[in-house]
Amino acid sequence: MAGRVALVTGASTGMGRATALVLADERARLALSSQTSARLEQTAAECAERGAEVAWWADDLAARDAPARVVAAAHERFGRVDALVNTVGPLVRTSGILDQDDDCWQRHFDSVLMSAVRFCREVVPLMLVNGRGAIVNISAMSVRHYHPQLAYYSAQKAALAHFTKNLAREFAHDGIRANAVMPGMIASESVQERQRIAARERGMTE
């Protein structure tokens, strides 16, 4: 990845931050975006300390026009986008499917699925000009299992995996690779916080 431009969404925390740091070690030129400005700036600083050239843009990536703004800014700064990693996807547990109202489904539809779709629509034309590119969309292992508390989240991640299959097939002959990664439980900040809350709740009931 040395010298190549990688755009990472959701780069302020969790897998997005970890991905940015790995790419920094690979000497990629990094375009980072996320909603949380302070944490994103911290990630960018850590990447710069590792020797990477970094630019970052804080935006609400679930908003319809945000991906176009971010990609345009990245292209203006670096002149190209060689790789895209979509990690956006908040994970909020509910007690069950009946508690997942329309707002919950719409919020995760926009942030998990449509954010990635919109970023792909913006970067693929740039990659076609270059004759190559790589896209990684973070799905989830929960799409293969039974989790009523995560039905809204897993449904969007399943849709993202299917979208990625079609993206890969359509642009394979243009030198663009698209892959969906389906990780299991990751010791991210949000997961660790949920574990701490669960431990406190168990302590109160024992």
Query: 192: how many CB neighbours lie within 10 A of its CB?
Result: 11
Query: 105: how many CB neighbours lie within 10 A of its CB?
Result: 15
- Helix 37-49 and helix 14-25, axial crossing angle in degrees, nearest 10: 20
| CA atoms of 147 and 160, how far apart (whole Å) | 18
Q: What does the angle CA 99 – CA 117 – CA 10 come to, to the nearest 5 degrees?
A: 70
Q: What does the angle CA 8 – CA 194 – CA 143 come to, to the nearest 5 degrees?
A: 60
**Active-site residue among 56, 153, 163, 171?**
153
Known catalytic residue at 152: no
**Hey, which residues are catalytic here?**
153
